[in-house]
Structure 1
Amino acid sequence: MNVALYGPAARWTMTERGAEGVHRSADRLAIGPSGMEWRGDHLHIDIAETTPWLRRRVRGTVKVWPEALVDRPLALGRTERHFWWPIAPCARIEVELTEPALRWSGTGYLDMNIGAEPIENGFSMWDWSRATLADGRTVVLYDLYPRDGSPTSLAVQFDPAAEVTEIDLPAPADLPPTMWLMGRRTRADAGARPQVTKTLEDTPFYARTRLKTQLFGEEVEAMHESLSLNRLRSRAVQFMLPYRMPRIAERRTKPRVPWPIVWRPPEG
Protein backbone atom coordinates (compact mmCIF):
# COMPACT_ATOMS: atom_id res chain seq x y z
CA MET A 1 0.00 0.00 0.00
CA ASN A 2 1.51 3.29 -1.10
CA VAL A 3 1.17 6.13 1.43
CA ALA A 4 2.61 9.58 0.63
CA LEU A 5 2.55 12.40 3.17
CA TYR A 6 3.91 15.85 2.30
CA GLY A 7 4.94 18.80 4.42
CA PRO A 8 6.87 18.85 7.74
CA ALA A 9 5.78 15.27 8.55
CA ALA A 10 6.59 13.91 5.09
CA ARG A 11 6.73 10.12 4.85
CA TRP A 12 6.55 7.67 1.95
CA THR A 13 5.88 3.95 2.08
CA MET A 14 5.41 1.20 -0.51
CA THR A 15 6.44 -2.30 0.52
CA GLU A 16 5.87 -4.96 -2.12
CA ARG A 17 4.09 -8.01 -0.69
CA GLY A 18 4.01 -11.59 -1.96
CA ALA A 19 0.95 -13.72 -2.59
CA GLU A 20 0.87 -14.94 1.03
CA GLY A 21 0.43 -11.34 2.22
CA VAL A 22 -2.47 -10.39 -0.04
CA HIS A 23 -6.07 -11.41 0.57
CA ARG A 24 -9.30 -10.15 -0.95
CA SER A 25 -13.03 -10.70 -0.97
CA ALA A 26 -15.95 -8.89 -2.59
CA ASP A 27 -15.65 -5.91 -0.21
CA ARG A 28 -12.21 -6.19 1.42
CA LEU A 29 -8.56 -6.09 0.33
CA ALA A 30 -5.71 -6.85 2.76
CA ILE A 31 -2.10 -5.99 1.80
CA GLY A 32 0.22 -7.17 4.53
CA PRO A 33 -0.80 -5.46 7.80
CA SER A 34 -2.79 -2.77 5.95
CA GLY A 35 -6.18 -3.10 4.31
CA MET A 36 -9.34 -1.48 3.07
CA GLU A 37 -13.00 -2.45 3.11
CA TRP A 38 -16.44 -1.04 2.45
CA ARG A 39 -18.29 -0.33 5.69
CA GLY A 40 -21.82 0.69 4.86
CA ASP A 41 -21.65 4.00 3.03
CA HIS A 42 -17.87 4.53 3.11
CA LEU A 43 -14.51 2.96 2.32
CA HIS A 44 -12.45 2.40 5.47
CA ILE A 45 -8.65 2.23 4.97
CA ASP A 46 -6.37 0.94 7.73
CA ILE A 47 -2.72 1.93 7.33
CA ALA A 48 0.08 0.05 9.12
CA GLU A 49 3.23 0.65 7.08
CA THR A 50 6.91 1.44 7.55
CA THR A 51 9.09 3.72 5.46
CA PRO A 52 12.21 2.33 3.78
CA TRP A 53 15.67 3.31 5.03
CA LEU A 54 14.78 5.28 8.20
CA ARG A 55 12.06 2.73 9.14
CA ARG A 56 9.59 5.28 10.43
CA ARG A 57 6.09 3.98 11.01
CA VAL A 58 2.90 5.24 9.40
CA ARG A 59 -0.26 4.26 11.30
CA GLY A 60 -3.86 5.42 11.10
CA THR A 61 -7.08 5.40 9.11
CA VAL A 62 -8.58 7.12 6.09
CA LYS A 63 -12.34 7.15 5.50
CA VAL A 64 -13.80 7.94 2.08
CA TRP A 65 -17.48 8.82 1.60
CA PRO A 66 -18.35 8.84 -2.13
CA GLU A 67 -20.52 11.73 -3.29
CA ALA A 68 -20.64 10.29 -6.80
CA LEU A 69 -20.16 6.67 -7.87
CA VAL A 70 -19.19 5.41 -11.32
CA ASP A 71 -20.34 1.85 -11.99
CA ARG A 72 -18.10 0.99 -14.94
CA PRO A 73 -14.50 1.44 -16.12
CA LEU A 74 -13.49 3.51 -19.14
CA ALA A 75 -11.16 2.15 -21.83
CA LEU A 76 -7.74 3.75 -22.20
CA GLY A 77 -6.62 3.53 -25.80
CA ARG A 78 -8.19 1.78 -28.76
CA THR A 79 -7.17 -1.81 -27.96
CA GLU A 80 -9.27 -1.93 -24.77
CA ARG A 81 -6.55 -3.84 -22.92
CA HIS A 82 -6.28 -1.15 -20.24
CA PHE A 83 -9.08 0.50 -18.30
CA TRP A 84 -9.43 3.32 -15.83
CA TRP A 85 -12.21 3.21 -13.22
CA PRO A 86 -12.91 6.48 -11.39
CA ILE A 87 -14.93 4.74 -8.67
CA ALA A 88 -15.60 7.87 -6.59
CA PRO A 89 -14.44 10.95 -8.50
CA CYS A 90 -16.11 13.22 -5.93
CA ALA A 91 -15.77 12.24 -2.29
CA ARG A 92 -15.50 13.47 1.29
CA ILE A 93 -12.58 12.16 3.35
CA GLU A 94 -11.40 12.04 6.95
CA VAL A 95 -7.78 11.25 7.81
CA GLU A 96 -6.68 10.35 11.33
CA LEU A 97 -3.09 9.19 11.83
CA THR A 98 -1.42 8.22 15.08
CA GLU A 99 2.10 8.01 13.59
CA PRO A 100 2.78 10.75 12.69
CA ALA A 101 0.09 12.49 14.74
CA LEU A 102 -2.00 14.16 12.02
CA ARG A 103 -5.67 14.59 11.27
CA TRP A 104 -7.68 16.51 8.72
CA SER A 105 -10.80 16.31 6.56
CA GLY A 106 -11.64 17.55 3.10
CA THR A 107 -12.38 16.37 -0.42
CA GLY A 108 -10.99 13.20 -1.93
CA TYR A 109 -10.88 10.98 -4.97
CA LEU A 110 -10.86 7.20 -5.50
CA ASP A 111 -9.93 5.45 -8.74
CA MET A 112 -8.14 2.36 -10.04
CA ASN A 113 -6.51 1.02 -13.19
CA ILE A 114 -7.06 -2.44 -14.61
CA GLY A 115 -5.11 -4.11 -17.40
CA ALA A 116 -4.71 -7.36 -19.31
CA GLU A 117 -0.94 -6.78 -19.40
CA PRO A 118 1.68 -4.73 -17.52
CA ILE A 119 1.02 -1.06 -18.10
CA GLU A 120 4.46 -0.47 -19.64
CA ASN A 121 3.59 -2.95 -22.40
CA GLY A 122 0.65 -0.82 -23.51
CA PHE A 123 1.96 2.74 -23.21
CA SER A 124 5.20 4.66 -23.52
CA MET A 125 4.02 7.56 -21.33
CA TRP A 126 1.00 9.52 -20.17
CA ASP A 127 -0.06 12.74 -18.45
CA TRP A 128 -3.07 12.97 -16.15
CA SER A 129 -4.66 15.77 -14.15
CA ARG A 130 -7.67 16.34 -11.92
CA ALA A 131 -9.30 19.61 -10.85
CA THR A 132 -12.49 20.59 -9.04
CA LEU A 133 -14.51 23.50 -10.42
CA ALA A 134 -16.37 26.05 -8.31
CA ASP A 135 -19.73 24.32 -8.78
CA GLY A 136 -18.41 20.99 -7.47
CA ARG A 137 -17.78 19.29 -10.81
CA THR A 138 -14.57 17.29 -11.14
CA VAL A 139 -12.64 17.38 -14.42
CA VAL A 140 -10.09 14.70 -15.33
CA LEU A 141 -7.79 15.00 -18.35
CA TYR A 142 -5.72 12.17 -19.86
CA ASP A 143 -3.10 12.32 -22.62
CA LEU A 144 -1.99 8.81 -23.54
CA TYR A 145 0.79 7.55 -25.78
CA PRO A 146 0.07 3.91 -26.75
CA ARG A 147 2.89 1.76 -28.10
CA ASP A 148 0.74 0.43 -30.94
CA GLY A 149 -0.95 3.57 -32.21
CA SER A 150 -1.21 7.33 -32.30
CA PRO A 151 -1.63 9.43 -29.12
CA THR A 152 -5.12 9.63 -27.66
CA SER A 153 -6.70 12.02 -25.18
CA LEU A 154 -9.65 11.91 -22.82
CA ALA A 155 -11.52 14.72 -21.07
CA VAL A 156 -14.21 13.66 -18.60
CA GLN A 157 -16.50 15.61 -16.31
CA PHE A 158 -18.04 14.21 -13.14
CA ASP A 159 -21.04 15.91 -11.57
CA PRO A 160 -22.39 14.52 -8.25
CA ALA A 161 -25.92 15.28 -9.49
CA ALA A 162 -25.54 13.97 -13.05
CA GLU A 163 -24.00 11.32 -15.28
CA VAL A 164 -20.38 11.07 -16.36
CA THR A 165 -19.90 13.07 -19.55
CA GLU A 166 -17.07 13.55 -22.01
CA ILE A 167 -16.23 17.21 -22.64
CA ASP A 168 -14.24 19.17 -25.20
CA LEU A 169 -10.48 18.87 -24.78
CA PRO A 170 -8.76 22.04 -23.57
CA ALA A 171 -5.68 23.19 -25.45
CA PRO A 172 -2.32 21.44 -24.82
CA ALA A 173 0.18 23.29 -22.63
CA ASP A 174 3.80 22.48 -21.77
CA LEU A 175 5.15 22.48 -18.23
CA PRO A 176 8.81 22.84 -17.22
CA PRO A 177 10.69 19.52 -16.90
CA THR A 178 11.52 18.08 -13.50
CA MET A 179 14.97 17.87 -11.92
CA TRP A 180 15.21 14.38 -13.46
CA LEU A 181 14.39 16.04 -16.83
CA MET A 182 11.01 14.32 -17.00
CA GLY A 183 8.83 16.06 -19.56
CA ARG A 184 5.45 17.27 -18.31
CA ARG A 185 2.43 18.37 -20.31
CA THR A 186 -1.10 19.35 -19.40
CA ARG A 187 -4.18 20.99 -20.90
CA ALA A 188 -5.72 24.38 -20.13
CA ASP A 189 -7.82 27.12 -21.68
CA ALA A 190 -6.32 28.49 -24.89
CA GLY A 191 -3.81 31.22 -24.04
CA ALA A 192 -3.54 30.23 -20.37
CA ARG A 193 -0.14 29.49 -18.86
CA PRO A 194 -0.35 26.80 -16.16
CA GLN A 195 2.15 27.20 -13.34
CA VAL A 196 3.81 24.53 -11.21
CA THR A 197 3.19 25.53 -7.60
CA LYS A 198 4.93 22.48 -6.12
CA THR A 199 6.50 19.27 -7.38
CA LEU A 200 5.47 16.67 -4.82
CA GLU A 201 7.16 13.62 -6.35
CA ASP A 202 10.22 13.85 -8.58
CA THR A 203 11.58 10.46 -9.66
CA PRO A 204 13.35 9.23 -12.82
CA PHE A 205 10.07 7.93 -14.29
CA TYR A 206 7.22 9.60 -12.37
CA ALA A 207 6.30 13.12 -11.28
CA ARG A 208 3.38 14.33 -9.17
CA THR A 209 2.76 18.06 -9.37
CA ARG A 210 0.42 20.66 -7.98
CA LEU A 211 -0.65 23.19 -10.61
CA LYS A 212 -2.31 26.57 -10.78
CA THR A 213 -4.15 26.62 -14.08
CA GLN A 214 -7.26 27.79 -15.94
CA LEU A 215 -10.03 25.46 -17.11
CA PHE A 216 -13.34 26.45 -18.68
CA GLY A 217 -12.90 30.06 -17.66
CA GLU A 218 -12.02 29.34 -14.01
CA GLU A 219 -8.76 29.68 -12.11
CA VAL A 220 -8.29 26.30 -10.43
CA GLU A 221 -5.75 24.19 -8.59
CA ALA A 222 -5.06 20.81 -10.15
CA MET A 223 -3.21 17.65 -9.24
CA HIS A 224 -1.08 16.46 -12.13
CA GLU A 225 0.88 13.28 -12.85
CA SER A 226 3.41 12.41 -15.57
CA LEU A 227 4.51 8.81 -16.08
CA SER A 228 7.27 7.61 -18.43
CA LEU A 229 6.93 3.88 -19.02
CA ASN A 230 10.04 3.89 -21.23
CA ARG A 231 12.05 5.06 -18.24
CA LEU A 232 10.32 2.55 -15.96
CA ARG A 233 11.48 -0.24 -18.29
CA SER A 234 15.10 0.88 -18.20
CA ARG A 235 17.68 -1.27 -16.38
CA ALA A 236 18.78 1.65 -14.23
CA VAL A 237 15.27 2.29 -12.88
CA GLN A 238 14.61 -1.42 -12.37
CA PHE A 239 17.84 -1.61 -10.37
CA MET A 240 16.80 1.34 -8.16
CA LEU A 241 13.19 0.30 -7.53
CA PRO A 242 13.86 -2.21 -4.70
CA TYR A 243 15.53 0.54 -2.67
CA ARG A 244 12.40 2.68 -2.91
CA MET A 245 9.97 -0.27 -2.89
CA PRO A 246 11.46 -2.99 -0.67
CA ARG A 247 10.39 -6.52 -1.53
CA ILE A 248 9.76 -9.16 1.10
CA ALA A 249 11.90 -12.30 0.99
CA GLU A 250 9.22 -14.86 0.15
CA ARG A 251 9.00 -16.45 -3.28
CA ARG A 252 7.22 -14.18 -5.76
CA THR A 253 4.12 -15.70 -7.35
CA LYS A 254 2.43 -12.56 -8.67
CA PRO A 255 3.34 -10.23 -11.56
CA ARG A 256 5.62 -7.28 -10.82
CA VAL A 257 2.63 -4.95 -11.34
CA PRO A 258 -0.18 -6.48 -9.20
CA TRP A 259 -3.74 -6.30 -10.50
CA PRO A 260 -6.04 -4.23 -8.28
CA ILE A 261 -9.25 -5.55 -6.83
CA VAL A 262 -12.49 -4.66 -8.56
CA TRP A 263 -14.41 -3.02 -5.74
CA ARG A 264 -18.12 -3.51 -5.31
CA PRO A 265 -19.64 -0.05 -4.77
CA PRO A 266 -21.64 0.29 -1.54
CA GLU A 267 -25.37 -0.07 -1.83
CA GLY A 268 -27.23 3.21 -2.28
Structure 2
Amino acid sequence: MISFVGSVFSPYYHWAGRRDPENHVCINVALYRPGGNCWSMTERGRGAMRRDATSFQVGPSSIRRDGSDIIIDFDEISVPRPPAQWLPRRIKGSIRYSPDAVTSQVFDIDQNGRHRWWPVSPTGRISLKMETGGEDWTGHGYMDSNWGTEPLEEGFKLWDWARGLTPDGDAVILYDAIRKDGGRGQIALRIGRDGAVQPFEMPAKTSLSKGFWGVPRSGHHDQGAEAKARIVRTLEDGPFYTRSVMATQLLGEDVELMHESLSGDRFASPVVKAMLPFRMPRRR
Protein backbone atom coordinates (compact mmCIF):
# COMPACT_ATOMS: atom_id res chain seq x y z
CA MET A 1 0.00 0.00 0.00
CA ILE A 2 1.13 3.53 -0.80
CA SER A 3 -0.50 6.79 0.25
CA PHE A 4 0.06 9.89 -1.89
CA VAL A 5 -0.26 13.64 -1.42
CA GLY A 6 0.55 15.07 -4.81
CA SER A 7 0.35 11.66 -6.46
CA VAL A 8 3.77 11.28 -8.05
CA PHE A 9 2.56 8.91 -10.79
CA SER A 10 -0.68 10.77 -11.47
CA PRO A 11 -1.25 11.98 -15.05
CA TYR A 12 -3.91 14.37 -13.71
CA TYR A 13 -1.40 15.98 -11.35
CA HIS A 14 1.05 16.29 -14.25
CA TRP A 15 -1.56 17.81 -16.58
CA ALA A 16 -2.57 20.26 -13.83
CA GLY A 17 1.01 21.54 -13.63
CA ARG A 18 1.66 19.94 -10.22
CA ARG A 19 0.44 23.15 -8.57
CA ASP A 20 -1.97 21.77 -5.95
CA PRO A 21 -0.76 18.51 -4.38
CA GLU A 22 -3.64 18.24 -1.90
CA ASN A 23 -6.04 18.12 -4.84
CA HIS A 24 -4.35 14.94 -6.09
CA VAL A 25 -4.41 12.36 -3.30
CA CYS A 26 -4.97 8.62 -3.16
CA ILE A 27 -4.39 5.43 -1.20
CA ASN A 28 -3.09 2.69 -3.50
CA VAL A 29 -3.91 -0.94 -2.64
CA ALA A 30 -2.11 -3.83 -4.36
CA LEU A 31 -3.10 -7.34 -3.29
CA TYR A 32 -1.33 -10.43 -4.67
CA ARG A 33 -2.94 -13.78 -3.95
CA PRO A 34 -3.48 -17.21 -5.53
CA GLY A 35 -7.10 -16.36 -6.31
CA GLY A 36 -6.13 -13.39 -8.47
CA ASN A 37 -4.43 -10.04 -7.96
CA CYS A 38 -6.29 -6.80 -7.17
CA TRP A 39 -5.14 -3.24 -7.88
CA SER A 40 -6.79 0.01 -6.85
CA MET A 41 -5.30 3.49 -7.25
CA THR A 42 -8.28 5.85 -7.32
CA GLU A 43 -7.27 9.49 -7.17
CA ARG A 44 -9.48 12.01 -5.38
CA GLY A 45 -9.51 15.76 -4.79
CA ARG A 46 -9.02 17.86 -1.69
CA GLY A 47 -12.70 17.61 -0.78
CA ALA A 48 -12.21 13.89 -0.11
CA MET A 49 -9.10 14.37 2.06
CA ARG A 50 -8.70 14.92 5.79
CA ARG A 51 -5.37 14.86 7.58
CA ASP A 52 -3.67 15.87 10.79
CA ALA A 53 -0.59 14.82 12.75
CA THR A 54 -1.83 11.27 13.41
CA SER A 55 -4.28 10.47 10.60
CA PHE A 56 -4.77 10.68 6.84
CA GLN A 57 -8.07 9.97 5.10
CA VAL A 58 -8.85 9.81 1.39
CA GLY A 59 -12.50 9.03 0.62
CA PRO A 60 -13.45 5.71 2.25
CA SER A 61 -9.88 4.72 3.19
CA SER A 62 -7.69 6.00 6.00
CA ILE A 63 -4.41 5.63 7.87
CA ARG A 64 -4.05 6.45 11.57
CA ARG A 65 -1.83 5.91 14.56
CA ASP A 66 -2.96 3.79 17.47
CA GLY A 67 -0.22 4.14 20.06
CA SER A 68 2.90 2.95 18.26
CA ASP A 69 0.89 0.92 15.72
CA ILE A 70 -0.38 2.02 12.33
CA ILE A 71 -3.97 1.13 11.38
CA ILE A 72 -5.01 1.20 7.71
CA ASP A 73 -8.69 0.81 6.88
CA PHE A 74 -9.32 0.50 3.16
CA ASP A 75 -12.47 0.23 1.06
CA GLU A 76 -11.62 0.55 -2.61
CA ILE A 77 -12.69 -0.72 -6.05
CA SER A 78 -10.01 -2.54 -8.01
CA VAL A 79 -9.73 -1.96 -11.74
CA PRO A 80 -10.26 -4.91 -14.13
CA ARG A 81 -7.09 -6.86 -14.97
CA PRO A 82 -7.91 -9.38 -17.73
CA PRO A 83 -7.72 -12.28 -18.09
CA ALA A 84 -7.77 -12.95 -14.32
CA GLN A 85 -10.29 -10.21 -13.49
CA TRP A 86 -12.72 -8.86 -16.08
CA LEU A 87 -14.92 -6.77 -13.77
CA PRO A 88 -14.24 -4.24 -11.00
CA ARG A 89 -13.94 -5.84 -7.56
CA ARG A 90 -14.42 -4.38 -4.10
CA ILE A 91 -11.48 -4.82 -1.72
CA LYS A 92 -12.22 -3.91 1.88
CA GLY A 93 -10.30 -4.69 5.03
CA SER A 94 -8.01 -3.48 7.79
CA ILE A 95 -4.27 -3.69 8.40
CA ARG A 96 -2.48 -3.31 11.72
CA TYR A 97 1.25 -2.69 11.44
CA SER A 98 3.33 -2.96 14.63
CA PRO A 99 6.85 -1.60 14.03
CA ASP A 100 9.85 -3.14 15.75
CA ALA A 101 11.53 0.28 15.89
CA VAL A 102 11.48 3.68 14.19
CA THR A 103 14.65 5.04 12.59
CA SER A 104 15.69 8.69 12.57
CA GLN A 105 17.97 8.94 9.52
CA VAL A 106 16.78 10.45 6.22
CA PHE A 107 18.69 9.90 2.96
CA ASP A 108 19.06 11.82 -0.30
CA ILE A 109 18.58 9.31 -3.11
CA ASP A 110 19.69 11.83 -5.74
CA GLN A 111 22.62 13.32 -3.78
CA ASN A 112 21.34 16.86 -4.23
CA GLY A 113 18.38 16.91 -1.83
CA ARG A 114 15.53 17.06 -4.34
CA HIS A 115 14.44 13.48 -3.62
CA ARG A 116 14.50 12.17 -0.05
CA TRP A 117 13.79 8.82 1.54
CA TRP A 118 13.17 7.80 5.14
CA PRO A 119 13.15 4.07 6.03
CA VAL A 120 10.68 4.75 8.83
CA SER A 121 10.30 1.22 10.16
CA PRO A 122 12.12 -1.40 8.07
CA THR A 123 10.83 -4.36 10.10
CA GLY A 124 7.60 -5.05 11.92
CA ARG A 125 4.63 -7.36 12.32
CA ILE A 126 1.55 -7.07 10.17
CA SER A 127 -1.94 -8.52 10.38
CA LEU A 128 -4.56 -8.21 7.66
CA LYS A 129 -8.27 -8.79 8.15
CA MET A 130 -10.24 -8.82 4.91
CA GLU A 131 -13.97 -8.17 4.74
CA THR A 132 -14.21 -8.65 0.95
CA GLY A 133 -11.75 -9.46 -1.81
CA GLY A 134 -9.22 -11.69 -0.06
CA GLU A 135 -8.15 -13.77 2.91
CA ASP A 136 -6.85 -12.86 6.37
CA TRP A 137 -3.14 -13.32 7.02
CA THR A 138 -0.23 -12.28 9.21
CA GLY A 139 3.45 -11.78 8.43
CA HIS A 140 6.27 -9.25 8.41
CA GLY A 141 5.95 -5.70 7.16
CA TYR A 142 7.89 -2.61 6.15
CA MET A 143 7.15 1.12 6.19
CA ASP A 144 8.99 3.98 4.50
CA SER A 145 8.37 7.46 3.11
CA ASN A 146 9.56 9.42 0.06
CA TRP A 147 9.13 13.09 -0.81
CA GLY A 148 10.67 15.52 -3.24
CA THR A 149 10.66 18.93 -4.89
CA GLU A 150 10.77 17.85 -8.55
CA PRO A 151 9.02 15.16 -10.64
CA LEU A 152 10.67 11.72 -10.57
CA GLU A 153 11.13 11.70 -14.34
CA GLU A 154 13.17 14.90 -14.14
CA GLY A 155 15.52 13.47 -11.55
CA PHE A 156 16.07 9.86 -12.61
CA LYS A 157 16.80 7.89 -15.72
CA LEU A 158 16.54 4.50 -14.00
CA TRP A 159 16.39 3.07 -10.52
CA ASP A 160 16.32 -0.29 -8.82
CA TRP A 161 15.16 -0.65 -5.23
CA ALA A 162 14.93 -3.78 -3.11
CA ARG A 163 14.13 -4.76 0.47
CA GLY A 164 14.29 -8.13 2.21
CA LEU A 165 15.01 -9.87 5.49
CA THR A 166 18.13 -11.75 6.52
CA PRO A 167 17.66 -15.09 8.30
CA ASP A 168 18.14 -13.35 11.68
CA GLY A 169 15.41 -10.79 10.93
CA ASP A 170 17.45 -7.72 9.92
CA ALA A 171 16.24 -5.66 6.96
CA VAL A 172 18.48 -5.27 3.91
CA ILE A 173 17.59 -2.32 1.67
CA LEU A 174 19.23 -1.25 -1.60
CA TYR A 175 18.74 1.88 -3.70
CA ASP A 176 20.66 2.11 -6.99
CA ALA A 177 19.65 5.12 -9.10
CA ILE A 178 21.02 6.57 -12.32
CA ARG A 179 20.29 10.27 -12.37
CA LYS A 180 19.41 12.28 -15.45
CA ASP A 181 22.77 14.06 -15.17
CA GLY A 182 24.54 10.69 -15.46
CA GLY A 183 25.53 10.47 -11.79
CA ARG A 184 24.71 7.57 -9.47
CA GLY A 185 22.82 7.50 -6.21
CA GLN A 186 23.59 4.33 -4.26
CA ILE A 187 22.47 3.30 -0.78
CA ALA A 188 23.03 -0.10 0.84
CA LEU A 189 21.77 -0.55 4.41
CA ARG A 190 21.37 -3.30 6.96
CA ILE A 191 18.90 -2.23 9.66
CA GLY A 192 18.39 -4.28 12.81
CA ARG A 193 15.10 -4.88 14.55
CA ASP A 194 16.27 -2.33 17.12
CA GLY A 195 16.43 0.32 14.37
CA ALA A 196 20.24 0.46 14.23
CA VAL A 197 21.34 1.47 10.71
CA GLN A 198 24.52 -0.08 9.29
CA PRO A 199 25.62 1.05 5.81
CA PHE A 200 27.63 -1.46 3.78
CA GLU A 201 29.41 -1.45 0.44
CA MET A 202 27.09 -1.55 -2.56
CA PRO A 203 26.98 -5.16 -3.81
CA ALA A 204 27.76 -6.25 -7.34
CA LYS A 205 25.06 -5.71 -9.95
CA THR A 206 23.81 -7.82 -12.83
CA SER A 207 21.06 -7.43 -15.43
CA LEU A 208 17.87 -9.41 -14.93
CA SER A 209 15.23 -10.36 -17.48
CA LYS A 210 13.17 -7.44 -18.76
CA GLY A 211 9.45 -7.21 -18.22
CA PHE A 212 6.86 -7.60 -20.97
CA TRP A 213 7.06 -3.87 -21.75
CA GLY A 214 10.84 -3.96 -21.90
CA VAL A 215 11.62 -2.04 -18.70
CA PRO A 216 15.24 -2.90 -17.76
CA ARG A 217 15.76 -4.30 -14.28
CA SER A 218 18.92 -5.18 -12.41
CA GLY A 219 19.61 -7.16 -9.27
CA HIS A 220 22.38 -7.00 -6.68
CA HIS A 221 24.33 -9.84 -5.13
CA ASP A 222 27.54 -10.74 -3.36
CA GLN A 223 30.64 -10.84 -5.52
CA GLY A 224 30.65 -14.06 -7.54
CA ALA A 225 27.02 -14.90 -6.74
CA GLU A 226 25.49 -13.77 -10.06
CA ALA A 227 23.75 -17.12 -10.56
CA LYS A 228 21.75 -16.61 -7.37
CA ALA A 229 20.20 -13.32 -8.56
CA ARG A 230 16.94 -14.15 -10.30
CA ILE A 231 13.32 -13.09 -10.59
CA VAL A 232 11.04 -15.44 -8.66
CA ARG A 233 7.77 -13.77 -9.61
CA THR A 234 6.74 -10.60 -11.42
CA LEU A 235 3.93 -8.82 -9.59
CA GLU A 236 3.55 -5.65 -11.68
CA ASP A 237 4.73 -5.20 -15.25
CA GLY A 238 3.97 -1.84 -16.84
CA PRO A 239 5.35 0.51 -19.49
CA PHE A 240 7.66 2.28 -17.00
CA TYR A 241 7.64 0.19 -13.79
CA THR A 242 8.04 -3.39 -12.62
CA ARG A 243 7.54 -4.90 -9.15
CA SER A 244 8.93 -8.37 -8.52
CA VAL A 245 9.99 -10.91 -5.95
CA MET A 246 13.71 -11.53 -6.34
CA ALA A 247 16.04 -14.17 -4.87
CA THR A 248 19.73 -13.41 -4.37
CA GLN A 249 22.69 -13.66 -1.98
CA LEU A 250 23.62 -10.65 0.16
CA LEU A 251 26.03 -10.41 3.08
CA GLY A 252 26.72 -14.12 2.71
CA GLU A 253 23.06 -15.09 3.16
CA ASP A 254 20.41 -16.27 0.74
CA VAL A 255 17.57 -13.71 0.85
CA GLU A 256 14.31 -12.99 -0.92
CA LEU A 257 13.57 -9.36 -1.76
CA MET A 258 10.69 -7.20 -2.83
CA HIS A 259 12.20 -5.51 -5.89
CA GLU A 260 11.19 -2.62 -8.12
CA SER A 261 12.60 -1.04 -11.25
CA LEU A 262 11.52 2.35 -12.58
CA SER A 263 12.35 3.98 -15.91
CA GLY A 264 12.14 7.75 -15.65
CA ASP A 265 12.64 8.06 -19.40
CA ARG A 266 9.63 5.83 -20.04
CA PHE A 267 7.50 7.65 -17.46
CA ALA A 268 8.31 11.01 -19.08
CA SER A 269 6.63 9.90 -22.33
CA PRO A 270 3.29 11.66 -23.05
CA VAL A 271 2.04 8.38 -24.56
CA VAL A 272 2.70 6.51 -21.31
CA LYS A 273 0.97 9.20 -19.24
CA ALA A 274 -2.05 8.99 -21.54
CA MET A 275 -2.29 5.25 -20.78
CA LEU A 276 -2.31 5.65 -17.00
CA PRO A 277 -5.99 6.65 -16.45
CA PHE A 278 -6.97 3.07 -17.32
CA ARG A 279 -5.17 1.91 -14.15
CA MET A 280 -5.53 5.13 -12.15
CA PRO A 281 -9.04 6.63 -12.42
CA ARG A 282 -9.90 9.92 -10.75
CA ARG A 283 -13.12 10.54 -8.82
CA ARG A 284 -14.25 14.10 -8.17
Q: Give the match for residue 32 of structure 2.
A: 6
Q: Write out aligned runs for 1:30-179 (5 A).
A: 30-53=57-80, 54-161=87-194, 163-179=196-212
User: Whole-Å Cα distance in 2 between the matches of residues 189 and 101 of structure 1?
Assistant: 37
1:121 partner SS: helix
Which structure 1 residue ranges, 4+ long, deviate > 6 Å from structure 2?
none
Aligned residues: 249
Q: Report how far residue 34 of structure 1 moved.
A: 0.3
Q: Check whether the contact 1:9–1:100 (CA below 8 A) recurs between aligned residues.
A: no
User: Whole-Å Cα distance in 1 between the matches of residues 127 and 164 of structure 2?
Assistant: 19
User: Whole-Å Cα distance in 1 between the matches of residues 238 and 178 of structure 2?
Assistant: 20
Aligned-residue CA RMSD (Å): 1.3
Q: Scaled by the length of structure 1, what TM-score is found?
A: 0.89
Q: Report how far residue 124 of structure 1 moved.
A: 1.7
**1:216 maps to 2:251:** yes
User: Whole-Å Cα distance in 1 between the matches of residues 195 and 154 of structure 2?
Assistant: 35
List alignment gaps of at least 5 residues for structure 2: 1-26, 81-86
Q: Report how far residue 101 of structure 1 moved.
A: 4.0
Q: Give the letter for the 1:186 counterpart.
A: G
Match of 2:268 among 233, 254, 259: 233
Q: Check whether the contact 2:240–2:263 (CA below 8 A) recurs between aligned residues.
A: yes
Alignment deviations for residues 180-218 of structure 1 (CA, whole Å, 9 cap, x no partner): 111101210112121111111111111011111111111
User: Whole-Å Cα distance in 2 between the matches of residues 21 and 161 of structure 1?
Assistant: 37
List alignment gaps of at least 5 residues for structure 1: 251-268
1:71 partner SS: coil
1:77 partner SS: coil
Report the identity percentage.
40
1:120 partner SS: helix
**1:21 maps to 2:56:** no
2:196 partner SS: coil
1:102 partner SS: coil
Q: Scaled by the length of structure 2, what TM-score is found?
A: 0.85
User: Whole-Å Cα distance in 2 between the matches of residues 211 and 233 of structure 1?
Assistant: 26
Q: Give the match for residue 246 of structure 1.
A: 281
Alignment deviations for residues 204-236 of structure 1 (CA, whole Å, 9 cap, x no partner): 111011111111111111111001111111121
